[in-house]
Amino acid sequence: MSTKTTINIKNKFDRVVVLVDMDCFYCQVEEKLNPAIRGKPIAVVQYNPWQGGGIIAVNYPARAEGVTRHMRGDEAKQHCPEIELPQVPQVRGKADLTRYREAGKDVADVLKSFTPLLERASIDEAYLDITERVLTRIHEMNEGKFQLRPEKLANTFAVGYENIGEFITKLSNTFDPAGGTAESNSQERLEYKKSDIKLLVGASIVNEIRAAVKERTGFECSAGIAHNKILAKLTAGFHKPNKQTILPINSIPKLYETLPLKKVKGLGGKLGDQVCEVLKIKFMSELVQFPESVLQQHFEQRMGSWMYLMARGIDLEAVTAKFHSKSIGCCKRFPGKNAITGLATLHHWLNELASEVTERLEKDLDENNRTAKQLTVSYSQQIDNVDVSSTRSIALVAYDAERIAADALDAIKRNTERFFASNSTTALHNPIKFLGISAGKFEPNGAGKGGGIKQMFQSYSSKAANADEPPHETERRKSVSGETPDVVTELPKGAGTSKEEQQQIEKGNDASNGEPSKPKGLIQHFLQRQSALAPGSTGKSEETGSEAKTASASSSSEDVNQPESKPKKGIAQFLQPKSAINKESSLGSGELSKSRATVESIEPAAKPKKGIEQFLKPKSDVQQETATGHEQEKEENNNDEVEPAPYLDDTVELAVPEQEESQPEPESRMERDVQISAPAPIHESEDPPEEKPSTSKASFVERSNARADAKPDYKETYAEYSFQVPEPTLECPQCKKPIPEHEFQSHQDFHFALSLSQQQRDEFRNDLKTKMTSKSPLPAKRPSKAVVSAGPTSGGNGAPSANLSIARFLSKVSPESVRSSSAEVATGSNSKADEVPEYHTKCSDCGKFIPLDSLDQHNDYHVAKRLQQELNRLEVVVPSQATSKPALVVVASGASSSTKRKRPANSSDKVTSPVKQKLKPLSSYFTKL
DNA sequence: CATGGCCGATCA
DNA sequence: TGATCGGC
C-alpha cells in the first residue's frame, strides 16, 4: 500500500491509457489572456529585467524560429524579433503561478468529465484510463449505435505506420499468414490485435476529449494512447502539437531499437546514466537481453523488475484517481548576491512565502474541504562555498501566515548551529540561498454541519492551537480509506475528496469493478472466426488483493475474451476480413507478450525479419524537414485560423490507405462503410499543394503525417476545429471594439482596471517603501481569510494579491495618456496595428523599454529589489563585526561547482521520432536472455 | 548571479 | 523523517 498500485500482469495490455499533455501550456494561457498576441511567436518569461528574463515556455511559432527554452528573453528576440514575451506575474516579489494552476484545473475538470480515472501528473499533464469507455464504445459499435468514422481519427497517428489508415488496414486483416508459426504465437497475435483495436477505438474517444478541452477551455493538447502509463507518456511526444499518437504493441520492438534508454520516464537521470554505463547499452532494445535477476542485482529489486518489464513494453502501474496535489508549497531562490544575509530579510521572505501558501491553503480548504497538518520548511545555505540544503517538518497548527513564518523561522534556527554571525543578533552566519515552505499531510474535514466552509475553518483555526484534531472526524473519512470494496484505484490518502467528487470516483470504481461481465461479445466478431481456440479467460481482478486493481483492465480482458455470437455490425463489419492482401507479414515480438514466468522459457521464435521493418522504414526524410521550410505561409494564415475544410474527399481515403504497391481491395466492407460516412464534417484542414501531388493518391493522413514532422506547419494541424463557426462578438460599450464573447468579461475587467485609481497602486508601493525604511518587513496581521475582493486594502501583503487577477491590466496612466505616450516609444509589435497595440515606455530605473501594461509590475520589481538590498545592507552593517567588507559583499563566488542538481549534460539529444536510423534485424531482440 | 518554481517518489 | 532525484 505504501508503494504504487499495480495491475495484474495478466492484464498487461488490456488497458487503454492516455496521457494528455497540454501544448506549451503557459503560452496558451497567455494567449488566451491576451488575444492580441494570438498566433504570434510567444515565449513566456519570468523575472524580466535580467537579460530579458528566463524563458519557461515557447510556443510552436517561436520554436519554428529557433527559440528554445534555456534562452533568455533577449536571445529569443535575436532569433525572432517579432516574438512576444509575456511575463509570469509577480506577486510578493516572486513568480506567481496561480494563473496557470487555474487554467490547468479548468482543463482537468474537462478531462474528469470523461472518466473518474484521472490522474493529474503535473500542472498540464494527466493520465486517463479510458478502458471502460472504450469497451462501452466497442459494444455500441457492435450494436450499430456507433460508427467509427474517419473524421473521428483526425490527427491521429500510429507509431510504426505511415498513416492511421495503414494501421486500420492492418487491424482489419483477419489472419496473419506471416509469422504463421506456433499456435501460441497466433493466439498471442490475436490478443495483441484485440488490444490494439482498443487503442484505436480509444483514439476516437481521445479525439473527443481533446475537442472538448479545446471547446470548453480554448486550449489545445496532444495525447499518447498506449497500454500503460510509461508508454502513453512516451508516445504523446511523437506528434505535437495538437495531435495524438497510438502505440500498437507490435511497434514497440522497432521503436525501442532507436529509443535511447534515457528517454524513458524513470530513466532520464542518473539512474539512466548508470544503467547505460553498467550494462554498456544505449537503447531500450538492448535491455531485453538481461535477465531480471541481473537487473535486480545491479539496480535494486524493485527497479530491476520494473526495467525488466519495461524492456518488454510492460508497465503495470495503475492509473490512480488523483485530482488534487498532496502538497501545496512555494519557494524561491536567492542566487549570488541576492543571498539572504540578515534576519529581517529572512523574516521578510518567510512571510512572503507563508502568505502565499496560506492564501493557497485557504482556497484549497474552500474547494476541497481538507486541511494540511504538516509544514515543511526547506532551505539551503552556503557554508564554505558549498551549498547545503536541509528540510525540517513541523506541525501545521493554523492557517495563519505569520504563525507559519514564525514557526518556520524557529525551525531553521533550531536546526542551524551558529545561526548568527559572531557578535551579531541580526546578521546570519551563513547566507541563505534558497527558501521553501510547503504544507502537506492533508486530512479531510468533516462535512461542515449546516455552516459554510468558512465557519469550519474558523473553528478549526481557533481551536487548533490546542488540539490538533480537526473538529469532526467523520463518516466521510471512513468511506475514503476504509470500506470501499476492491477498489480500482486507491484513493490517495488525505485526498479530501469533497462532495460529488467522492461519489464520482466511487461510482467509477464500481463501474469498472462491479460488472465483471459486461456486455459481451465485442470485437471478437471479426476475430473469433479464425481463432477457433478459446482464449483462456485472463485472470480476474479478484486475485491478489494488492494487484489487479485495475478492474477496468481485467474486465476488459473478460469482455474481449467472451466468445460470443451476436448480430454483427459496427466494427465487426468495419474491420471485416478483407481478402488476402496484406502486405505486412509477421510482426514478431514474442518476448513482449510473455509474463515474467514464461518469458524466459520461451524460445526466440524465429520470425521472418521483414514484417515490421517494412512499414517502419520510410518516413525518415520527412522529419528532416528544416525549420525554415514552411515559414511564410504560416505567418499569413496566422490570425484567421478558421478555414473551410476542403479535402472532404480525403477522408474517404482514410479507409483506403495508400499502400506502396497493392491497392486495398475496393470491395472491402471497410471501405464501403467509410465511404458511406464520408460526407460528414471532417477535422482535417487545408493542405497546400506542395508535396505529393494532391491527387487522390496520397491519403490525407499521410499528408498530415508529413505535416506533423515538419514543424512549420503546425498551423494546419489546428484544423480539427477549423470547421467551427467563428465566435460571435459583442461590441464593447466603452471602446466600441468587437470583442469575442468569451473574452468579454475579461475585457470588461480591463476597463475596470484602467479606471481604478492609480493611487491604489501607489499606496502599495509607498507601503513597501515604508516597510523598507522602517526596517519592519512584517506586515500588520491580516485577516486569516484570503483577501478576495479588491478595494484599497490598507497595505500589507494582502494588497497585491487582491489585485492579482487584474494586475496585468493596471496601468499607471489613464487610457488617454497611454495613447498619447505611444509616440515616444518603440512598439515591439509588428502586428496589425488596429488591435490593442503594445506601447512601451522607458523604465527610469533600468532604462529598459517596458510595455505599459506591465510597467507596474516592473516597478514593483525594482522596489522589491531595493527593499531586499536595503535590508541586507542594514543588517550586515549593523553589528560591530562583519565589517571590512562593503555592504553587500557576500562570498567570492568560487567555482561554485558545488551546486547540486546538475542537469544531464546532453539533454539536447532528441528523439524526434521513433522511426529512423538504421536498424538491427528484429531477431536481435529475441535472442532472449 | 542565473531556468525557476513546482510537485512527487524513493531510499536510508 | 530527511536527503536526493526526476521531470515539467
CATH number (domain holding residue A133): 3.30.70.270
- pLDDT for A334-365, tens place per residue? 999 999 999 999 999 999 999 999 999 999 99
Separation of A219 CA and B11 C1' (Å): 39
| Range with lowest mean pLDDT among A299-313, A413-427, A846-860 | A846-860
Is residue A667 domain-resident? no
Question: Percentage of chain A surpassing pLDDT 90?
Answer: 43
Whether A333 and A197 share a structural domain? no
pLDDT tops 50 at residue A301: yes
Nucleotide nearest to A901 (CA to C1'): C5
- Bases of chain B below 7 A from a protein C-beta are 1-12
Residues in contact with strand C, defined as Cβ under 7 Å from any of its atoms = A 121-125, 233, 265-272, 374, 376, 378, 389-393, 900-901
DSSP states of A562-626: S-------HHHHHTPPPPS---------HHHHS-HHHHTTS------S-THHHHHSTTTGGGG--
pLDDT tops 70 at residue A639: no
| pLDDT for A289 | 95
Nucleotide nearest to A49 (CA to C1'): B2
Separation of A26 CA and B3 C1' (Å): 15
| pLDDT for A186 | 86
Whether A28 and A41 share a structural domain? no
- Bases of chain C below 7 A from a protein C-beta are 1-8
Whether A247 and A203 share a structural domain? yes
Whether A295 and A343 share a structural domain? no
Nearest protein residue by Cα to C1' of nucleotide C2:
A391
Helix orientation angle between A183-217 and A131-142, rounded to the nearest 10 degrees: 100
Is residue A873 domain-resident? no
Given the C-alpha cell 508516445, which residue does it identify?
A: A235
Q: In the predicted model, what is the mean pLDDT of residues A569-585?
A: 31
Is residue A668 domain-resident? no
Domain's final residue, options A445, A464, A494: A445
Nearest protein residue by Cα to C1' of nucleotide C1:
A393
What does the alpha-carbon distance between residue A270 and residue A903 come to, in Å, rounded to a whole number? 9
Q: Which helix (H) or strand (E) holds A162?
A: none
Whether A65 and A119 share a structural domain? no
- pLDDT for A543-555, tens place per residue? 333 333 333 433 3
A661 compared with A137, residue with greater pLDDT: A137
Q: Given pLDDT bands bounded at 50, 70 and 90, which one contains residue A2?
A: low
Residue range of the domain that includes A136: 9-34+92-174+189-311
A221-226 and A244-246: which strand pairing? parallel
Whether A271 and A128 share a structural domain? yes
**Nearest to residue A752, comparing CAs of A793, A789, A725, A700?**
A789
- pLDDT for A467-510, tens place per residue? 222 333 332 322 222 222 233 333 233 333 343 333 333 333 33
Separation of A318 CA and C5 C1' (Å): 22
Domain's final residue, options A85, A117, A149: A85
Nearest protein residue by Cα to C1' of nucleotide B7:
A122
Nucleotide nearest to A394 (CA to C1'): C1
Catalytic residue among A30, A31, A65, A125: A125
Q: How far is CA A217 from CA A100, A109, A115, in A?
A: 13, 10, 18
Separation of A435 CA and C1 C1' (Å): 19
Whether A282 and A136 share a structural domain? yes
Nucleotide nearest to A54 (CA to C1'): B3
A293 compared with A812, residue with greater pLDDT: A293
Whether A254 and A387 share a structural domain? no
Q: In the predicted model, what is the mean pLDDT of residues A634-646?
A: 25
pLDDT tops 60 at residue A905: no
Question: Percentage of chain A surpassing pLDDT 70?
Answer: 47
Nearest protein residue by Cα to C1' of nucleotide C6:
A269
Q: How far is CA A500 from CA A39, A212, A371, A504, A595, in A?
A: 38, 21, 18, 6, 39
Domain's final residue, options A49, A66, A85: A85
- pLDDT for A642-659, tens place per residue? 222 222 122 222 222 232
Separation of A267 CA and C6 C1' (Å): 9
pLDDT tops 70 at residue A456: no
**Nearest to residue A797, comparing CAs of A407, A439, A372, A401?**
A401
| Range with lowest mean pLDDT among A109-118, A147-156, A437-446, A898-907 | A898-907
Please state the pTM of the whole predicted model. 0.60
Is residue A237 domain-resident? yes
| pLDDT for A173 | 80
Mean pLDDT of chain A: 61
Whether A427 and A373 share a structural domain? yes
Per the CB < 8 A criterion, the answer to whether A827 and A838 are in contact is: yes
Q: In the predicted model, what is the mean pLDDT of residues A822-844?
A: 33
| pLDDT for A343 | 94
Whether A136 and A276 share a structural domain? yes
Separation of A300 CA and B10 C1' (Å): 11
Q: Given pLDDT bands bounded at 50, 70 and 90, which one contains residue A857?
A: low
Separation of A515 CA and C1 C1' (Å): 42
Whether A64 and A133 share a structural domain? no
Separation of A288 CA and B4 C1' (Å): 38
Nucleotide nearest to A353 (CA to C1'): B5
Is residue A484 domain-resident? no
Is residue A276 domain-resident? yes
Nearest protein residue by Cα to C1' of nucleotide C3:
A390
Q: Which helix (H) or strand (E) holds A102?
A: helix A98-112
Q: Which DSSP letter does residue A507 get?
A: H
A679 compared with A62, residue with greater pLDDT: A62
| pLDDT for A423 | 86
For chain A, how many structural domains are there in total? Answer: 3
Nucleotide nearest to A337 (CA to C1'): B1
β-partners of residue A395 are A374
Is residue A263 domain-resident? yes
Nucleotide nearest to A119 (CA to C1'): B8
Nearest protein residue by Cα to C1' of nucleotide B6:
A330
| pLDDT for A174 | 64
Q: Amino acid identity of A118? A: L
- Whole-angstrom distance between the N-terminal and C-terminal Cα of chain A? 32
Whether A282 and A377 share a structural domain? no
Q: Residue A372: give its domain's CATH number.
A: 3.30.1490.100
Helix orientation angle between A164-172 and A669-677, rounded to the nearest 10 degrees: 140
Residues in contact with strand B, defined as Cβ under 7 Å from any of its atoms = A 3-4, 46-47, 50, 54-56, 69-70, 94-95, 97, 300, 302-303, 325-333, 335-338, 356, 438, 440, 893, 896, 899, 903
Q: In the predicted model, what is the mean pLDDT of residues A234-260?
A: 97
Q: Given pLDDT bands bounded at 50, 70 and 90, which one contains residue A288?
A: very high
Q: Which DSSP letter does residue A478 get?
A: I
Separation of A337 CA and C4 C1' (Å): 26
Is residue A318 domain-resident? no
A356 belongs to the catalytic site: no
| pLDDT for A842 | 53
pLDDT tops 90 at residue A256: yes
